[in-house]
């Protein structure tokens, strides 16, 4: 796909369920890519299929029209039809999806997105957050096989974003609908994505599960060193209410203690361990306030900048990345294969519930 | 102010002619406006010029051309008469045709502006919701153009009430058939002691024109409020 001097050359595969985040800076080609998937833009060369059905194949000149693709689209600017009420907007796609009800029912969408009170209103009387909720419902009711969300929160202020995010989380959990979520805000990606495709200047620079990609330097290059760190999906083993700590099982036999607020035993929890917050030790720690010490093996040491090194530690089934000074590497004689203890303060861990899709 | 039966007749006829004129031109003007805005074809400029021609031609020339084309012996008029028994020259239908041609550019202009103002993003959204081209036009584009279509119709209607040159040339000045308000006014001026009648008809035309514009404005505001455009 070429537009002026801009060339987009992307290839990625998305799983049948879950949320794939298309992540990158503004202008890296994210929106162009979803427009191509929806069919609103035609690329010079390309191939798209959903579950085996070819939607686009320039080699055989096959191109399914957007209206026949059954690919839902939630736009950044909502694009609710101003001449219709909220109910009219919701029914627009539903009416055109006659006969192929996939199980997204009107009542379910209205209750899931809390739209009951809004049904009779006109789009221009809604707040930005309400508009995006209606746009979500409208897209879902057209019974798509795939839902594209192009920065649906980008035009909202922080408070409104917090108001809409729980609905998006609920959709991920309650509907078995694959979604592609475009964003340049990494905190949204953390909250929503199961998979991540990182775009930079029109090319895919990393892709895979969020856990895997979180260790990739290509992602660090975009989020910056302050936000870089491993993302771990685990399960709450038990909650120690007295001390306000929850134990979270990570990987095969790792365990992290995190703040107990909002957690309950059995809950799926996503924990982000920022690379800056990790301390490495060559022996089991003693007499420290740090609540987490996990034993692991160094799998790689990369140069991050002149004075710092990125150390990847394998915790048997989970990976952690740590920023360590070159000086410390030399002093502790760290090398790939060394056994280390990974120390993280419980208070520096960010966590939030993350039930998988269809749970 | 009491109107004579002849003047009432002229008033009624003006409304009949203007209504028919708007009804004839509305679908065609919408189509032409769509072609001019969205069409990508050779001759778009020529079409644009053709549509606007009545604005710059003397109305008498338009009436004369209509007479040549649609008269009993004209290529179109002759065929219409032989095939359907329809006669346009010197009839009310002919008066409606003449006013339709004259007010056509006004209507195309208004509809065209409203179509240009329609955000293509809404049509894209409709596409992703499963709407094909015709469906999209009827369910999204047309409703969003409504303010312009109504404004164009009201303006064209008001202009049609007052069309003189093309009408008198094409269909003459026949009481009860083609004598609309401006033709009645002209007749009154030509008649000795017609001063009072002329004043009455002129006042009436003034009132009609003013209420037409006021109505158009009221309608446009109402629609804009519904659509949330301020």
Predicted pLDDT of residue B194 = 87
Contact flag B228-A125 (C-beta cutoff 8 Å): yes
Question: In this structure, what token pair is assigned to residue B202?
Answer: 């002129």
Q: Which residues of A touch B130 (CB under 8 A)?
A: 67-68, 70, 93, 96-97, 142
Same-domain pairing of A182 and A45:
yes
Q: Does residue A212 share a domain with residue A233?
A: no
d(CA B73, CA B75): 7
Which of A192, A223, A254 represents a domain boundary (last residue)?
A223
Q: Is residue A160 domain-shared with residue A248, that is, in the same domain?
A: no
Is A356 within a domain? no
Q: Is residue A302 part of a domain?
A: yes
Strands of A123-168, DSSP E: 146-150
Does one domain contain both A296 and A173? no
Q: Which of A72, A93, A124 sits opposite B228 (nearest CB)?
A: A124
Same domain, A81 and A201: yes
Same-domain pairing of A72 and A166: yes
Q: Tell me if A342 is assigned to some domain.
A: yes
Q: Are residues A208 and A238 in the same domain?
A: no
Contacts of B128 in chain A (CB under 8 A): 38, 40, 66-67, 69, 71-73, 139, 142
User: Can you tell me the mean pLDDT for B34-61?
Assistant: 92
Q: What is the pLDDT of residue A359?
A: 36
Does residue B48 lie in a domain region?
Answer: no
Gap between the Cα atoms of A74 and A76, Å rounded: 7
Domain that holds residue A165: 2-223
Which residue numbers of A have CB closer than 8 Å to B's CBs? 38-40, 65-73, 75, 77, 79, 81-83, 92-93, 96-97, 122-125, 138-139, 142
Q: Are B62 and B103 in contact (CB under 8 A)?
A: no
Regions of chain A with pLDDT less than 70: 1-8, 99-102, 356-359
Residue B52 lies in a domain: no
In chain B, positions 95-124, which contact chain A (CB-CB < 8 Å)?
A: 119, 121-122, 124
> Residue B61 pLDDT > 50, yes or no?
yes
Q: Which residues of B163-184 are buried (b: 16+ CB within 10 A; e: fewer)?
A: bbbbbbbbbbbeeebbbbbbbb
Tally of domains within chain B: 1
> Which chain A residues are Cβ-neighbours of B136 within 8 angstroms?
67
Pair (A320, A209) in one structural domain = no
In terms of residue numbers, what domain contains B93?
5-30+57-172+180-227
The reply to whether A45 and A112 lie within a common domain is yes
Contact (CB, 8 A) for A146 and A19? no
Q: Which residues pair with A295 in a beta bridge?
A: A341
Which residues make beta-bridge pairs with A342?
A280, A294
What are the structure tokens assigned to B74, written together? 């004209």
The token pair at A271 is 């924990």
- Best of B114, B120, B125 to substitute, by most chain A Cβ atoms within 10 angstroms, is B125
Tell me how many domains chain A contains.
2
Q: Which of A223, A249, A267 is the last residue of a domain?
A: A223
Residue B192 touches chain A, beta carbons under 8 Å: no
Smallest CA–CA distance, residue A173 to chain B, in Å, is 23
A77–B227 C-beta distance less than 8 A? no
The helices-and-strands tally (H runs, E runs) of chain B is 11, 0
Q: Which of A41, A64, A74, A82 to mutate to test the interface with B (most CBs of B within 10 A)?
A: A82
Measure Cα distances from A211 to A17, A150, A196 in Å.
16, 23, 9
Residue A122 is predicted with a pLDDT of: 93
Given this model, what pLDDT does residue A6 score?
59
**Which residues are within 8 A (CB) of A214 and not within 5 positions of it... i.e. 6 or more apart?**
A196, A229, A230, A231, A272, A321
Q: Is residue B43 part of a domain?
A: no
CATH number of the domain encompassing residue B206: 1.10.3720.10
CB nearest B132 (choices: A67, A69, A123): A67
Which chain A residues have a beta carbon less than 8 Å from that of B125?
73, 75, 79, 81
Considering the domain architecture, whether residues A200 and A322 belong to the same structural domain is answered as no
Nearest to A83 among B129, B132, B143 (CB): B143
Identify the pLDDT of residue A358. 40
Domain closes at, from A172, A198, A223: A223
A245 and A332 inside one domain: yes
* Residue A262 maps to a domain: yes
- Contact status, residue B111 vs residue B29, Cβ threshold 8 Å: yes
Do residues A178 and A17 make contact, with C-beta atoms less than 8 angstroms apart? yes
Mean predicted confidence (pLDDT) in B77-92: 88
């Amino acid at each position: 796909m070429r537009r002026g001097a801009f060339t987009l050359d992307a290839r990625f595969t998305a799983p049948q369920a879950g949320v794939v985040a298309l992540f990158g800076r503004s202008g890296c080609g994210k929106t162009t890519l979803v427009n191509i998937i929806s069919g609103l833009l035609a690329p010079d060369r390309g191939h798209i299929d959903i579950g085996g059905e070819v939607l686009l194949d320039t080699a055989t000149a096959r191109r399914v029209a957007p209206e026949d693709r059954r690919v839902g689209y939630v736009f950044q600017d909502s694009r609710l039809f101003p001449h219709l009420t909220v109910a009219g907007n919701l029914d627009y796609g539903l009416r055109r999806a006659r006969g192929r009800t996939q199980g997204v029912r009107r009542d379910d969408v209205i209750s899931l997105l809390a739209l009951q009170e809004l049904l009779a209103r006109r789009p221009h009387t809604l707040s930005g957050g309400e508009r995006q909720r209606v746009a979500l419902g409208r897209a879902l009711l057209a019974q798509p096989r795939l839902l594209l969300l192009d920065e649906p929160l980008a035009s909202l202020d922080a408070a409104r974003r917090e108001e809409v995010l729980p609905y998006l989380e609920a959709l991920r959990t309650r509907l078995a609908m694959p979604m592609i979520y475009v964003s340049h805000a990494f905190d949204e990606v953390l909250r929503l994505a199961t998979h991540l495709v990182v775009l930079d200047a029109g090319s895919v620079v990393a892709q895979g599960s969020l856990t895997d990609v979180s260790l990739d330097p290509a992602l660090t290059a975009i989020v910056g060193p302050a936000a870089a760190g491993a993302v771990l999906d685990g399960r709450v083993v038990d909650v120690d209410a007295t001390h306000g700590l929850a134990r979270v099982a990570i990987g095969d036999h790792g365990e992290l203690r995190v703040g107990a607020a909002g957690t309950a035993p059995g809950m799926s929890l996503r924990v982000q361990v920022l690379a800056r917050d990790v301390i490495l030790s060559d022996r089991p720690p003693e007499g420290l306030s740090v609540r987490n010490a996990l034993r692991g093996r160094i799998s790689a040491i990369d140069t991050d900048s002149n004075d710092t090194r990125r150390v990847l530690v394998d915790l048997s089934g989970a990976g952690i990345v740590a920023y360590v000074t070159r000086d410390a590497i030399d002093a502790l004689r760290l090398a790939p294969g060394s056994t280390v203890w990974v120390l993280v303060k419980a208070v520096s861990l960010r966590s939030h519930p993350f039930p998988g899709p269809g749970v | 102010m009491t109107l004579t039966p002849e003047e009432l007749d002229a008033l009624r006829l003006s409304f009949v002619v203007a209504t028919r004129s708007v009804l004839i031109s509305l679908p065609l003007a919408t189509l032409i406006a769509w072609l001019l805005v969205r069409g990508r074809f050779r001759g778009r400029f020529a079409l644009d010029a053709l549509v606007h021609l009545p604005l710059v031609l003397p109305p008498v020339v338009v009436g004369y051309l209509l007479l040549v084309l649609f008269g009993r012996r004209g290529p179109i008029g002759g065929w219409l008469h032989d095939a359907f028994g329809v006669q346009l020259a010197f009839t009310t239908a002919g008066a409606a045709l003449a006013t339709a041609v004259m007010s056509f550019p006004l209507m195309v202009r208004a509809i065209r502006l409203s179509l240009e103002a329609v955000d293509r993003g809404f049509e894209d959204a409709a596409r992703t919701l499963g709407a094909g081209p015709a469906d999209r036009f009827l369910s999204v584009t047309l409703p969003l153009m409504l303010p312009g279509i109504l404004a164009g119709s009201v303006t064209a209607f008001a202009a049609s009430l007052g069309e003189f040159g093309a009408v008198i040339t094409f269909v003459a000045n026949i009481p009860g058939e083609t004598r609309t308000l401006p033709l009645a006014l002209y007749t009154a001026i030509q008649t000795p002691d017609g001063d009072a009648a002329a004043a009455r008809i002129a006042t009436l035309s003034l009132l009609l024109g003013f209420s037409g514009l006021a109505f158009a404005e009221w309608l446009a505001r109402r629609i804009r409020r519904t659509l949330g455009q301020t």
